[in-house]
A and B are shown apart, each in its own frame.
Chain A
């Protein structure tokens, strides 16, 4: 069974304090690993898709990396507006486009 585990469950940072969020996964053939941002009471907002080990993608203060077992979302010099829940999801090469989500990391950045 495909599984996604995210850690930590919650993270509090000071503005400017860089850190990383972890997403560990087991999947029967990875088609893609996705990172989303979710604000309270809102649907997930797409951030990145990673397809193969060694791949990296960046967007503003965020950088996502991928290995064969896990993905990291690095946040450099975060700002209060980066506060949100960050969700990781995997899509298997079978299973008709289904995404399996982790429980997310709740990030709070204090000014």
Chain B
């Protein structure tokens, strides 16, 4: 079964509104989570690294004021797309690396993704 859960799996919103996507690690703690964006037929592009209890590290070209990341606990990271516009429409995927117990394999577990459509 899934070890990283994302919610919602899809969302449609109006231009100018904000959308929050949740990423939860199930059965393990993740001090670090990663947020990726994937456009159709393109590769996953890392947006930011989310660190529990501290500020996220954003990749070059990613607007930190537009894509707000909060990692308030060891099992939850959220991505908020603020003032969304049609060009923000994409597939957003989070991932976490297991560091404890049977999940301490070095494997990066991915969520099922969240498809955002901005009208």
Which positions in A face B, CB cutoff 8 Å? 4, 32, 34, 36, 41-46, 49, 87, 89, 96-104
Main secondary structure of the interface of B (DSSP, over half): strand
Which positions in B face A, CB cutoff 8 Å? 4, 6, 32, 34, 41-46, 49, 57, 91, 93, 95, 97, 106-113, 115
Among A45, A98, A102, contact of B46 (Cβ-Cβ < 8 Å) = A98
The docked-state distance in angstroms from the alpha carbon of A36 to that of B113 is: 15
In contact, B113 and A43 (Cβ under 8 angstroms) = yes
Shortest beta-carbon distance from A88 to chain B in Å: 10
In contact, A103 and B115 (Cβ under 8 angstroms) = no
Inter-chain contacts of A100 with B (CB < 8 A): 46
- For this complex, 14 residue pairs linking A to B, each with C-beta atoms less than 8 Å apart, are A4-B43, A36-B110, A41-B115, A43-B93, A44-B93, A46-B110, A49-B106, A87-B43, A97-B34, A97-B108, A98-B34, A99-B34, A101-B43, A103-B41
